[in-house]
Amino acid sequence: MVFVLGLAAVLFLGLPVFAIVERAIERTDLLDVISSSTVTEALRISLVTTSISLGLVIVFGTPLAYVLARYRFPGHALVDTLVDLPIVLPPAVGGLGLLMAFGRRGILGGWLDDVGVELAFTTTAVVMAQTFVASPFYIRSAKAGFEAVDRDLEHVAYTLGSSRSGAFFRVAIPAAMPSLLAGAVMAWARALGEFGATIMFAGSFAGRTQTVPLAVYRSLETGIDVPLALSTLLVAISFAILLTFRLLMKRAALTL
C-alpha cells in the first residue's frame, strides 16, 4: 500500500513534466522555435537579469547569513523571520510591495523621480524582483553552512593575527563553500522561474522586461508551440540545476 501511494505521488508529479516534453517533441521543431527572436530575446533577458540578481544576492546575502549564524542581537529573530518572508509570501504580493516602495508613487518613488531615477517597469525592476524572491534561498543555505563551521577555526585565525574580516574571507567562506554554492544554485533557479513579482513590478515588455516565464504566459495568446518549446527549455535547465544542487549538497555532507 505504501509503495502504491508513493508511486501515485511520483506519477502525479512527473506526468505534467513528461507531458510538456512529449508534446513539445511531437508538435514542434524545437530547434527552430528556440532559435526564434521571441525565445532568444526572452532567454537573453533572463540570463542577464538572473546573473545580476545572483551577484547581488551573494554580495549582500553572504555577510547577512554570517551575522545571523554567528551573532545574537536584539531583533535577531525578527530579522531571521523577515529573511524567510519572501518564501511564503505570494510573489504577486512581493511585486506589489516593490511597486509601493519603489514605484513612481511609492514611498521612495517620489524622491527617486526627483533625481531622475525610474525603476518600475524597467529591466532594473526585473533584477529587483528576482533578488527579492531569490535571496532567502541563498541566505538560508549560507547560514546553515556558516553554522556548521567550527568556531575554533576562526579563533585560531585570530590568534595568528587575522582580523575578523580576514577570518571571514580566509576561513569561514572556504569552509562553508559547498553550502554557499548550493544556495547560489537554488537562488539562481528561483530567480530564473520568477513570474508573479516580475509581472507586477516590471511588466512584460518584449526586449526589455519579458523573461522566459513571462514569454511562456504571453505566447499562449498566439498558440501552443512557443510555450511548449520554452517550457521544455525551462524543464531542462531546472533539471540540470536540481542535479547540480544535489551533487553540491552531497559534497557538503561529506565535508562535515
Model confidence at 134, pLDDT cuts 50, 70, 90, reads very high
Residue with the larger pLDDT of the pair 180 and 219: 180
Contacts 24+ apart (CB under 8 A), 77-84: 83/135, 83/136, 83/139, 83/140, 84/136, 84/140
Q: In the predicted model, is pLDDT for residue 256 greater than 60?
A: no
User: 55: pLDDT confidence band, cut at 50, 70 and 90?
Assistant: very high
Which pLDDT value is given to residue 1?
A: 79
Q: What is the mean pLDDT of the chain?
A: 87
pLDDT at 124 (0 to 100): 94
Which sign, positive or negative, has the C-alpha torsion 20, 127, 201, 99? positive
User: How would residue 227 be classed by pLDDT, with cut points 50, 70 and 90?
Assistant: confident
For residues 8-13, average pLDDT: 90
Whether the pLDDT of residue 142 is over 60: the answer is yes
* Res. 83: pLDDT tops 70: yes
pLDDT tens per residue, range 16-34: 888 888 887 776 677 777 7
Mean of the pLDDT values across residues 164-177? 85
> 138 — phi, psi (to 5°)?
-75, -45
Three-class secondary structure of residue 2 per DSSP: helix
Taking residues 167-171, report their average pLDDT: 84
Q: How far apart are CA 160 and CA 165, in angstroms?
A: 13
pTM of the predicted protein model: 0.88
Q: Which whole number is the average pLDDT over 203-230?
A: 86
pLDDT band at 184 (very low <50, low <70, confident <90, very high): very high
User: For the segment 100-128, what is each residue's pLDDT rounded down to a tens digit?
Assistant: 999 888 888 778 877 888 889 999 999 99
**Confidence (pLDDT) at 254:** 64
What is d(CA 139, CA 115) in angstroms, rounded to the nearest whole number?
Answer: 32
Helix, strand counts (H, E) of the chain: 13, 0
Task: Read off the DSSP letter of residue 149.
Answer: S
What's the mean pLDDT in 64-70? 94
Read off the DSSP letter of residue 194: -
Per-residue pLDDT, 16: 87
